[in-house]
């Protein structure tokens, strides 16, 4: 079990956050075996956003703020994309035609996929 990392998780008023009885009533941060947001750290997008609003600047500064553009040039612009020519008019796969090709975002060139598939 782990706790949602949202800084305001306990302030969202839902039944599952309510704990204690009569003289000990409180709302608590959600605890689950698994969360679906923020790499399994947050119970909701709201909680993820709350965390970022609280800690985002510090985290970015700590791990390295982007201070100049990250550049895409021909050499690192290859992406594997779906090969539209791998199926016939009935949408059946054509034997021997690969399902993916490499596409260069900068030059718009294509080449056979380099890795597997
Ligand atoms: Zn939460």
Residue 6 alpha carbon to ligand 1 centre in Å? 5
State residue 114's pLDDT score.
76
Distance between Cα 28 and ligand 1 center (Å): 10
pLDDT in tens, 10-35: 999 999 999 999 899 999 999 999 99
**CB-count exposure of residue 30 (10 Å: 0-12, 13-18, 19+):** buried
**pLDDT level of residue 1 (50, 70, 90 thresholds):** very high
Tell me the pLDDT of the chain averaged across its residues: 95
Question: What ranges do the domains of the chain cover?
Answer: 2-63, 74-112
CA distance between the termini of the chain: 38
Question: What is the CA(22)–ligand 1 centre distance, in A?
Answer: 24
Which of 66, 74, 61 lies closest to 102, judged by CA? 74
Q: Ligand 1 centre from 16 Cα, in Å?
A: 11
- For residue 117, pLDDT over 70 is answered with no
Per-residue confidence (pLDDT) for residue 115, from 0 to 100:
62
Phi-psi region of 57 (alpha: psi -120 to 50; beta: other; left: phi over 0): alpha
Residue 109 corresponds to which tokens in the numbers above?
A: 């060139």
How many whole angstroms from 1 Cα to the centroid of ligand 1? Answer: 14
């Amino acid at each position: 079990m782990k706790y949602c990392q949202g800084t305001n998780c306990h302030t969202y008023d839902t039944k599952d956050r309510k704990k204690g009885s009569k003289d000990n009533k409180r709302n608590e941060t959600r605890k689950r075996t698994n969360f679906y947001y923020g790499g399994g750290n947050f119970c909701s997008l709201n909680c993820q956003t709350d965390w970022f609003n609280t800690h985002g600047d510090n985290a970015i500064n700590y791990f390295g703020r982007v201070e100049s553009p990250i550049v895409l040039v021909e050499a690192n612009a290859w992406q594997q994309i779906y090969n539209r020519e791998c199926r016939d008019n009935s949408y059946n796969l054509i034997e021997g035609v690969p399902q993916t090709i490499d596409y260069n975002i900068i030059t718009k060139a294509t080449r056979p996929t380099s890795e597997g598939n």
